[in-house]
Amino acid sequence: MSNPYDLARSILQKISCTLSATGSLMITSQVLRKKANRVKLQQRILLAISFCDFCTSTVWVFTDLFMPPRGNQRTCDAQGFIIQFGNTSNMMLMVALQVQYLLIIKYGWSETKMKKLEPFLLILPFCFGTSTATAALSLKLFNPANWDCWIAPYPDECTSSYEISHGNSDLEVTDCVRGDNARIFQWAFFFALLWAVAVFCIFVMIMITKSVEKAERKSASFSVNANRPNRPTQTTRRHSIQALNADGRLTLTDVNVIQRRTGRIELVLTTRVKMQCILYALGFFVVWGFPTIARMIQLFGGTIHPILLPLSGFFVGSQGLWNAMIYFRPKYSTLLEDHWWQKLWRLIKLNLLFCFEYDGEERNDDGGEENDHVSSSIARSFLTRAGASKWSFFQLIGHGENSDDTLRSDVQAGESCRSDNICHDVEQ
């Protein structure tokens, strides 16, 4: 490996793939160890994405063992199958994740309704990845391709039967030993899907952003109207107060307070979910950005700069790293350690070295099922009295990232209570 760009690519890719596999393991641990996460479709999609990324990152770390001369054709086929299966399944699962966010944020679907789509959102991506990988294996398309074994012609400069049939060569029969028409299958099995997924993610981000902006405008309008003095008729006021105070219930003033606070909390949570959705999509763009640039340059007949090789090798193997940073971002902001490296080490211990943690300490820090139940009960009680009919929305966006704890702090902090009954219920 005398080429410095190849050497840089090999080193950077092993580093990014190792970090990516670690991040995927952390997400897997967080999802599997908490029942509240395992029952959520969004968490199971992220679990599936982490599984696919862990598979591809692992074979990329040991790519030298799969490729000739240290490996053979069988090991090359094995690596090509895993990479094709993992990457295509990962892209389809990213579509499923974006669809899930879109249905929850824009259309207000509940967890029960979302479960009806689970076979399509979870099973179809794996079926698609398995089918393309199996087809490529049967067509003998997996061969050494730059830094790994994937869909490529062998020898690299051989003439495909498609080129011969279109009169682009004097040959009558292809001289490709393996991987005939591999360039076409690269587009059919991978790059067309990659670009379609990128366009779809952009579309979903636009839809969600517009939906949240619309909700913000409604919330602002409601806040203005809520701050105006109410002028109900004397009869309406008398009957309303009698109905509310008969059992010591809330007064009209209390209802207005709760409505304003409920709208604020719902808007804050919706904005947070929107940010998570956008960040997952941006992470996908960062990972596949440089390979896409290289492919577009090649498509238009340009010369690919050598620097794109190490950049592509580094970012293409970092999907799990980006997913982990996005996934644990809310939890990271709630940790009490002073320095960033202490917070990072805390997250690693809680998700990878949890066997060495005391149960009480882990449960206290990681927001175990008991704490989630308490905080969920607090928020549920508050929102029920506020007249919120879609508590399932708040359950769905838990993210496994201690959003319940954040919700509880949002309810309790920063506002003076106009009703002692409300304050008492929140503190419980």
Task: Determine the pLDDT at residue 322.
Answer: 94
Check residue 224 and give its pLDDT: 54
Does this model's pTM top 0.95?
no
Burial of 186 (0-12, 13-18, 19+ CB in 10 A): buried
φ and ψ of 37, to 5 deg: -85, -40
Q: Which residues pair with 148 in a beta bridge?
A: 145
The residue written with tokens 């069988």 in the block is 74
**Which regions in the chain score pLDDT beneath 70?**
1-2, 219-269, 354-428
The angle, 0 to 180 degrees and rounded to 10, between the axes of the packed helices 4-32 and 340-351 is 60
Q: What is the pLDDT of residue 45?
A: 95
pLDDT of residue 22: 95
Our CA dihedral for 120, 94, 79, 321, rounded to 10 degrees, sits at: -140
Helix (H, G, I), strand (E, B) or coil at 257: helix
Which of 83, 96, 103, 159 is CA-nearest to residue 122?
Answer: 96
Which pLDDT value is given to residue 274?
A: 82
Q: Are 379 and 371 in contact (CB under 8 A)?
A: no
Q: Residue 307's closest CA among 297, 296, 294?
A: 294
- Count Cβ atoms below 10 Å from residue 3 Cβ, excluding itself: 10
Q: Are 398 and 46 in contact (CB under 8 A)?
A: no
